[in-house]
Copies of this chain bind each other. A is one copy, B any other.
Amino acid sequence: MLYGIFSNDTAENGSARLRVGVQYNELILDLDCVSTLGYFNDLGIDTTVFAKPVLNDFIALGKPVHQAVRQRITDLLRSDAAAIVDVYDQVFTHESRAQLHLPVRIGDYTDFYAGIHHAENVGRMFRPDGDPLLPNYRHMPVAYHGRASSIVVSGTSIRRPNGQFMQAGALSFGPSQSLDFELELGLIIGKSNPPGEPIPVDEAESYIFGVTLFNDWSARDIQRWEYQPLGPFLGKNFASSMSAWVLPFEDLEPFRMAGPVQEPVPLPYLQTTTPGHFDVQLAVSLRTESGEEVCISRSNVQYLYWNFAQMIAHHTVGGCNLNIGDVLATGTISGIDPDSYGSLLELSWNGTRPISLPDGSTRTYLLDGDAVALRAFARTDNSTIELGTVTGTIQS
**Interface, chain A (partner B; CB < 8 A):** 107-108, 113, 122, 134, 136, 139-140, 142-150, 152, 159, 161-164, 171, 173, 176, 195-196, 198, 219, 222, 225-234, 237-239, 267-269, 314-315, 317-323, 326
How far, in whole Å, are A136 and B232 apart by their CA atoms in the complex? 13
Are A319 and B140 closer than 8 Å at their CB atoms?
no
Q: Are A171 and B267 in contact (CB under 8 A)?
A: yes
A267 nearest in chain B by CB position: B173
Taking the closest CB of chain B, its distance from the CB of A93, in whole angstroms, is 27
Contacts of A229 in B (CB 8 A): 122, 134, 142, 227, 231
Least CB distance, A101 to chain B, in whole angstroms: 15
Q: Which 6 A-B pairs have the closest CB atoms?
A: A231-B231, A161-B318, A144-B230, A145-B145, A238-B318, A238-B319
On chain B, the residues within 8 Å of A233 by CB distance are: 142-145
- Give chain B residues whose Cβ lies under 8 Å from the Cβ of A227: 229-231
Say how many copies of this protein the assembly contains.
Answer: 2
Known contacts A147-B108, A238-B318, A317-B234; is A226 also within 8 Å of B136 by CB?
yes
Q: B237 touching A149 by the CB < 8 A rule?
A: no
Interface residue from B159, B219, B320 paired with A237 (Cβ < 8 Å): B320
Given contacts A107-B148, A171-B139, is CB(A164)–CB(B267) below 8 Å?
Answer: yes
What distance in Å separates the Cβ of A167 from its nearest Cβ neighbour in chain B?
Answer: 13
A233 to B315, CA, bound (A): 8
* Distance in Å: Cβ of A268 to nearest Cβ of chain B: 8
Q: Determine whether the beta carbon of A149 is less than 8 Å from that of B232.
A: no
Q: Chain B residues with Cβ under 8 A from A142's Cβ?
A: 226, 229-230, 233
User: What secondary structure prevails in chain A residues at the interface with B?
Assistant: loop
Q: Are A140 and B164 in contact (CB under 8 A)?
A: yes
| A169 nearest CB across to chain B (Å) | 11
A-B CB contact pairs (8 Å), 13 listed = A140-B164, A145-B145, A145-B147, A149-B320, A150-B321, A161-B317, A164-B267, A227-B230, A230-B231, A231-B231, A234-B315, A234-B317, A234-B320
Inter-chain contact B162/A198, CB cutoff 8 Å: yes
| Given contact pairs A161-B318, A163-B318, A143 touches B267 in the complex (Cβ within 8 A) | no
Give the chain B neighbours of A150 by CB distance below 8 A: 195, 319-321
By the criterion CB–CB under 8 Å, are A319 and B195 in contact? no
Partner of A269, one of B173, B318, B320: B173
How many angstroms between the C-alpha atoms of A113 and B176 in the bound complex?
Answer: 23
B173 adjacent to A320 (CB under 8 Å): no
Distance in Å: Cβ of A218 to nearest Cβ of chain B: 11
**Once the chains are docked, how many angstroms separate the CA of A164 from the CA of B314?**
10
- Tell me which residues across on chain B come within 8 A of A148, comparing CB atoms: 107-108, 148
Cβ distance A279 to chain B, nearest Cβ, rounded Å = 27
Would you give the shortest CB distance from A115 to chain B, in whole angstroms?
Answer: 13
Output the nearest chain B residue to A319 by Cβ-Cβ distance. Answer: B238
Using known A-B contacts A136-B225, A229-B231, determine if residue A149 contacts B319 with beta carbons closer than 8 Å.
no
Decide if B225 touches A320 in the complex (CB within 8 Å): no
A326: B residues at CB distance < 8 A = 149
Residue of B whose beta carbon sits closest to that of A233: B143
**Given A233-B143, A234-B317, are A107 and B149 neighbors across the interface (CB < 8 Å)?**
yes
A119 to chain B: closest residue by CB: B229
User: Across the interface, do B108 and A149 meet the contact criterion of CB distance under 8 Å?
Assistant: yes
Other-chain residue from B113, B139, B234, B267 in contact with A318 (beta carbon distance below 8 A): B234
Q: Which of B144, B176, B230, B320 contacts A238 (CB 8 A)?
A: B320
Docked complex Cα distance between A238 and B145 (Å) = 13
